[in-house]
Structure 1
Amino acid sequence: MSDLSRAVSHALRHEPWVFELELDADGWTSLDSLVEALRREPAWSALDVKGVVEMVAGASKKRHEIEGDRIRALYGHSVPGRISKTPMAPPNLLFHGTSPRSSRTILIDGLWPMERQYVHLSVDRETAREVGRRKSPDPVVLAIDAQRAHHEGARFYRGNDRVWLADSVRSYFIAELPPA
């Protein structure tokens, strides 16, 4: 199922045009269109809507959402234009895992979305550490005073139950945590 999740994520987050998919302003596309596009790939020639629905329902990390006959990725977009999100009050504290080198820059310049549309933050330290391991075998975990940042104007959006998004986070809301 993880290969299917990766294929769906790629189509919905990064290159919908390669799959001839149209995303609306909120990132939704037709479930039938997605299945039809993926079926053009030999690995997915037998894919049906039921298979995508089962993958989304059984995923340990909630990356996609199905509503009626539509599907979208919840976060991680790098498509041109911006997928609209509704601002929400975040938890008091959020976390960001990164490499030691990047942490030095973040502590000076703050967090910016880089190639993505939003900054990705984790709800717990361990999830942030897992994310940071993608960038370094010895990641640094940063704590974000999200509640204070929110009260001072930073906008946050709920990605799913483990991921929050932000437009950016200024450096004075960020602190490096000691290694666990």
Structure 2
Amino acid sequence: MSNNLSVKISRLMSLALRHSPETLGITLDENGWCEVPKLLTGLENKGHSINIDTLTAIVKSNEKQRFAFDDSGTRIRANQGHSLNVDLGLSEAVPPEYLFHGSTVSNLASIQANGLLKGGRQHVHLSTDFDTVLAVGKRHGKPLIFQVSAGKMATEGYKFFVSANEVWLTDFVPPEFIQVL
């Protein structure tokens, strides 16, 4: 399978498993899981006939590790980034002293005034990896990186979670915990 086709299928899976399951005619349970055969049928109905081995290769090769199979390998879900209300079963975690968030210069004034908001998603996404957040910022314009004083936020009672692919999640980051790098 070509890399372009793999990326196209991965994006379609992201859309269905994070935001719009009806795109592939699938349903997600309360924890965001979908039966693998139903996902494969949904992809086939959209013109992408792949087997479980190809699906596994797409999941494993996804550079951001957006997807995960359950322990039995019979269900799949997105690791984070949902606009749908799903319970990923994440436990509260103690964050490192600093985390990073990638955005664009065009969002600077809003972020300085209002902080980092989750928007249409369940959480604000943060990372320990500077290169990752730089790539996120570049997707939408001239990138801007924010350093978040996550350790200080945690000591003041803000909750953090970490997804299976090591994306740090929180509900809100107030402006006083944000520094532009």
TM-score w.r.t. length of structure 1:
0.88
One-letter amino acid of the counterpart of residue 32, structure 2: G
1:143 is aligned to 2:124: no
The 5 A counterparts of 1:29-178 are: 29-42=34-47, 44=48, 46-67=49-70, 68=72, 69-79=74-84, 81-84=85-88, 85-137=90-142, 139-177=143-181
- Give, in angstroms, the shift of residue 162 of structure 1: 4.8
Matches of 1:97 and 1:18, distance apart in 2: 28
Q: Secondary structure at the match of 2:23?
A: helix
Matches of 1:120 and 1:126, distance apart in 2: 14
Unpaired runs of 5+ residues, structure 1, are: none
Q: Cα RMSD (Å) of the superposition?
A: 1.6
Unpaired runs of 5+ residues, structure 2, are: 1-5
Percent same amino acid at aligned positions? 33
Matches of 2:108 and 2:91, distance apart in 1: 28
- Give, in angstroms, the shift of residue 112 of structure 1: 0.9
One-letter amino acid of the counterpart of residue 180, structure 2: E
- Give, in angstroms, the shift of residue 16 of structure 1: 0.5
Matches of 2:35 and 2:118, distance apart in 1: 27
Matched residues, number: 173
One-letter amino acid of the counterpart of residue 169, structure 1: V
Q: Secondary structure at the match of 1:53?
A: helix
1:15 is aligned to 2:29: no
- Give, in angstroms, the shift of residue 126 of structure 1: 2.1
Q: Given that residues 15 and 23 in structure 2 are in contact (C-alpha distance below 8 angstroms), is that contact kept between their aligned partners in structure 1?
A: no
Q: Secondary structure at the match of 2:122?
A: coil
